[in-house]
Chain A
Amino acid sequence: MTNVILAALALAILGLVLGMLIGYTAKRFAVQTDPRIEAITELLPGANCGGCGYAGCADYARAMVEDGVSPAGCAVVSEENFQKISQALGQDSGKRERKVAVVYCSGDNGHARRVALYNGLNDCRAAAVLSGGGKGCRFGCIGLGSCARSCQFGAIELRNGLAVVHPEICKGCGKCTEVCPRKLIRLVSAETKAHVYCNSLDKGPAKRKNCTAGCLACRKCVKAAPDIFNAQGFLVRAREGAEISDELIASINCPTGALQSVADHLRSGKGKEGAA
């Protein structure tokens, strides 16, 4: 019995001695790291999506504290946390604008003409090096889903051969805009209510041959609201963030349906005619 008590005592003394030794060493040879880095890493969303351009949230936090990078690079963080991060850095944040991605195409399988059977890799960028996917329009959505696969948040849906972004899920990180080989995805203000969903610069008749939902640049919309719609050659673009009401769209009555409200564009595919 004494052996056990003695052993226990010996170990307790050993533990104490070693503990003090470690404590002393830690204090004496401590290396200073900025506590803000960890605090900011906690505030960031932790998705590690890379949208900021850094290798994960911890790396971005480090860059913010050590290199003075602005916290505005993170599109995913909540407004509240964004303010807190700005405070922690001693910066004045200002209001951030929420952006979402939009695929500027209406050419799904029901509207776009197919000129060839594509039998190859199921990837838009791979199809692009091989004369592109089989649809006639060389500006339009190839429809093999590279953007959908690149989206970490699952915001892009492949609907009948056309990519559609769900703005309520989209965080505006911009990954999809880099992936699309045709560069037809753009980041716009989340406030925009309607778009001309077409990217083709082809002339009217050629465009019409390739897709029944393409913008013909007939300029009906431009005439109806010249401050909102701007015709550039054979394609019309709506001004970002402009107020486009459903009544305005109905009164314009776009002949191909390329001009659509965001809500309609999301909803279609459920038996609606006109653009996809």
Chain B
Amino acid sequence: MPSNEWLTITVGAILVNNIVLSRILGICPFLGVSKKIKTALGMGGAVIFVMGIASLTTACLYRWLLSVKLDFRIGSFAVQNLDMGFTRILVFIVVIAALVQIVEILLQKFSPALYGALGIYLPLITTNCAVLGAAQLNAESGRGILQSTVYGICSGMGFALALILFASLRERLELSRIPKAFQGTSIALITAGILALAFMGFSGLVK
């Protein structure tokens, strides 16, 4: 595997095509959980975790189940050349949701400490479009399973990076005197936009 492909996947996912700031996915938790750096860290960790597992699962699912052309017959009922690829979004959603639920239950049982740190965020990311988006991008790009998983984890890291940066900005904003018209979500959105502008500077870093 030529090395710059890995660079494209990793650096591309974290910086150049940052899933929040470039692809504008996952804005809901981005705005919701970024008031404090501590919660941002927890959420970032949870997202990396979920996106890694979800990318792995969906990549496997797509490669082995959905892209395979099915040919079978049950009695007189024959199926030829059935390509279930078009159902991938629905399948992905259902599988990711179920997966995250199960992981949350297991986490609460077997690692209460980790659950305390990340557990409350897991329901938030269950049907987060960032997770689904990464899975979809993997399917579209035709990457192998390993690359897809790495891409998922790096996307999660990009999300975490953007979230922590944003949380730091918001903590400082909280201490400043904001004009009445801009208080609350509006100044947050403006700041997010400026942060996205800043990340555009990374374009061209990797091809």
Contact = CB atoms under 8 A, between A and B. Distances in A.
Direct contact of A and B (CB under 8 A): yes
B94 A18 contact: yes
A55 to B, nearest CB: 14
Interface string B126-166: 00000000000000000000000000000000000000000
Interface stretch (B8-16, B40-48, B82-90, B174-182): B82-90
A6 B82 contact: yes
Contact of A21 (B84, B91, B98, B110): B98
B109 A29 contact: yes
Interface residues of B, number: 18
A31 B104 CA distance: 11
B98 A31 contact: no
Nearest to A24: B102
Given A14-B91, A22-B101, A31 B108 contact: yes
Contact of B87 (A7, A15, A30): A7
B84 A10 contact: yes
A119 interface: no
A3 interface: yes
Contacts of A21: 98, 102
B106 interface: yes
B105 interface: yes
A26 interface: yes
Interface of A is mostly: helix
A232 interface: no
B50 to A, nearest CB: 16
B84 A7 contact: yes
A18 B109 contact: no
B79 interface: yes
A12 to B, nearest CB: 10
A69 interface: no
B82 A11 contact: no
B95 interface: yes
B74 to A, nearest CB: 11
Contact of B105 (A2, A7, A19, A25): A25
A6 B106 CA distance: 33
A11 B91 contact: yes
Contacts of A2: 79
A6 B82 CA distance: 9
Contact of A11 (B87, B110, B112): B87
B105 A14 contact: no
Interface string A136-163: 0000000000000000000000000000
B79 A6 contact: yes
Contacts of B110: 29
Given A11-B90, A11-B91, A18-B94, A26 B105 contact: yes
A26 to B, nearest CB: 6
A26 B109 CA distance: 10
A26 B87 CA distance: 28
A18 B84 contact: no
Given A3-B82, A7-B87, A29 B94 contact: no
A29 B112 CA distance: 13
Contacts of A31: 108-109, 112
Nearest to A3: B82
A22 B87 contact: no
Interface in B67-120: 79, 82, 84, 86-87, 90-91, 94-95, 98, 101-102, 105-106, 108-110, 112
Interface in A1-46: 2-3, 6-7, 10-11, 14-15, 18-19, 21-22, 25-26, 29-31
A10 B88 CA distance: 12
Contacts of A14: 91, 94-95
Given A7-B84, A31-B109, A22 B102 contact: yes
B94 A15 contact: yes
Interface string A188-209: 0000000000000000000000
Given A18-B94, A22-B98, A25-B101, 4 more contacts: A2-B79, A7-B84, A11-B87, A31-B109
The 7 closest A-B CB pairs, nearest first, are A18-B98, A29-B109, A7-B87, A31-B108, A25-B102, A25-B105, A22-B101
